Amino acid sequence: MTGRVRISTAGISAVTDLGRPAGGAVGQMTGGALDQYSARAANALVAASPQAPLIEIVAADFAATTSANLLVALTGAPAAVAVNGVPMRQWEPFWWPAGTELSVRSIRLGMRVYLAVHGTLDVPKLLGSCAPDSVLGFSGPLHRDDNLSVEPGPLRIFHSHLGIPVVRGAVQPPRFTDHWRIPVTDGPDRDEFGASAHRLHAGRFVIGTHSNHIGLRLTPVGGARLPVREHHGEVLSRGVPIGAVEVPAGDELLILHRGRGVTAGYPVLAVVTATGLSRLGQARPGQSVEFVRVGLGEAVAAARAEQAAIDRLTRRLARLMSAHAHRGSTASIPDSRPVPSEFEQLSTSS
């Protein structure tokens, strides 16, 4: 039965997905969730497709009520998540019963929380994606009293006697901190910086307040120095990847993120890896960043390891869905009970 999710506190939130990777071919930004790992994990935890729409909640408080019984999961930065005031765990699925309010408050250390639903959020799409595009004016932020149409799915994934999710601990949150170690590979213009290129990896940089989904602005701190380009010829505009670390004239670095245009004209010293981009999607203005130089093989291995954990969970839930379909089983919704707030301890440990 189709239900509604009514937004009561929108904060800074939007319905998004993993973006439109083919957008660059037509000059369109990729967009999508800035923390791709947390978004993928949220959808995997509720047996949704990787590209399924979900709600991205940025920094501010959020609340909504539902008219349908929904199986949901929230991942991303540590936050106080509750259903009708009862604390709920992040990084595992739980029930959001019809007529109750789900709230997300006190987002800390990171910037973004992802709310995924087992079922279907009915939202408009452009080139196969619901990700907002501020340049084209497609979609946009959620507002108070907005209603999202949702079709609940059939899956029940709670232990029939204990009432806890059978996928508890299936995927782990990344480490959230005030200082981020971001892996980068060499960019196409590294040689133009000569011996000063090593400065990117020798100090710390602070994220500026003008950073957003298009890119991050960083300035050196604590004695760190910017790399200096030795070649002074003009750089023609060209295609640039998500994660390009650019060195414009001035006193800051630019890192292009998922909202970037597809061309730019600054020298590219390095490129943030796929795992590093998700971390940068959580980094807050005022937090510091350290760039760690890695090879392509190491970068690919790290991305594959993250995806492998999500794939294992996806296969586990697929078997569970098949078993439920064979038995025709539909477990009842368990009573909501308070849970220990262990997520912050877990997320800040190495």
DSSP structure string for 219-283: EEETT------S--SPPPPEE--TTEEE--SSS-EEEE-TT--SEE-S-EEEEE-HHHHHHHTTP
Question: What percent of the chain lies above the pLDDT cut of 90?
Answer: 67
Predicted local distance difference test score (pLDDT) of residue 319: 77
Quick one: pLDDT band at residue 326, thresholds 50, 70, 90?
low
Within 13 Å, how many C-alpha atoms sit on residue 223's CB side?
Answer: 1
Classify residue 284 as exposed, middle or buried by CB count within 10 Å of its CB (0-12, 13-18, 19+).
middle
* pLDDT over threshold 50, residue 221: yes
| Higher pLDDT pick, 79 / 327 | 79
Distance CA 268, CA 32 (A): 23
* Helix 296-327 / helix 36-45 crossing angle, nearest 10 deg: 20
What pLDDT, on a 0 to 100 scale, did the predictor assign at position 164? 56
Q: Smallest Cα–Cα separation from 76: which of 52, 30, 108? A: 108
Structure tokens at 46: 């509720």
Cβ contact 250:223 at 8 Å: no
Residue type at position 141 = P
Q: What percent of the chain has pLDDT over 70?
A: 87
CA angle 119–136–26, rounded 5-degree value: 90
Question: Residue 109: is its pLDDT beyond 70?
Answer: yes
Residue 157: per-residue pLDDT: 60
Considering only 66-75, 254-263, 298-307, which range has the smallest mean pLDDT?
254-263
pLDDT for the residue numbered 277:
96
Residue found under tokens 């709920």? 88
Residue with tokens 């590219």: 268
Residue 278 φ/ψ, nearest 5 degrees: -65, -40
Residue type, 243: G
At residue 296 the predicted structure's pLDDT band, cuts being 50, 70 and 90, is very high
Q: What is the mean pLDDT of residues 271-299?
A: 97
Residue 199, helix vs strand vs coil: helix
b/e per residue, 218-242, with b = 16+ CB within 10 A?
bebeeebebbebeeeeebeeeebeb
Model pLDDT for residues 116-171, shown as the tens digit of each residue = 999 999 999 998 999 998 888 898 999 999 999 999 887 666 555 445 566 666 78
How many beta carbons lie within 10 A of that of residue 204, not counting itself? 16
Place of tokens 């790992």: 37
In eight-state DSSP terms, residue 161 is T
pTM equals 0.89
Rounded distance, CA 326 to CA 80, Å? Answer: 37
Least reliable range by pLDDT among 46-60, 98-112, 161-175, 308-322: 161-175
Q: Does pLDDT of 308 surpass 70?
A: yes
Average pLDDT over residues 318-341: 51
**What amino acid is encoded at 72 in this protein?**
V
Could you say which DSSP state residue 343 is in? Answer: H
Measured in degrees and rounded to the nearest 5, phi and psi for residue 329 equal -85, 140
Q: Are 193 and 278 in contact (CB under 8 A)?
A: no
> CA–CA separation, 23 vs 5, rounded Å?
29
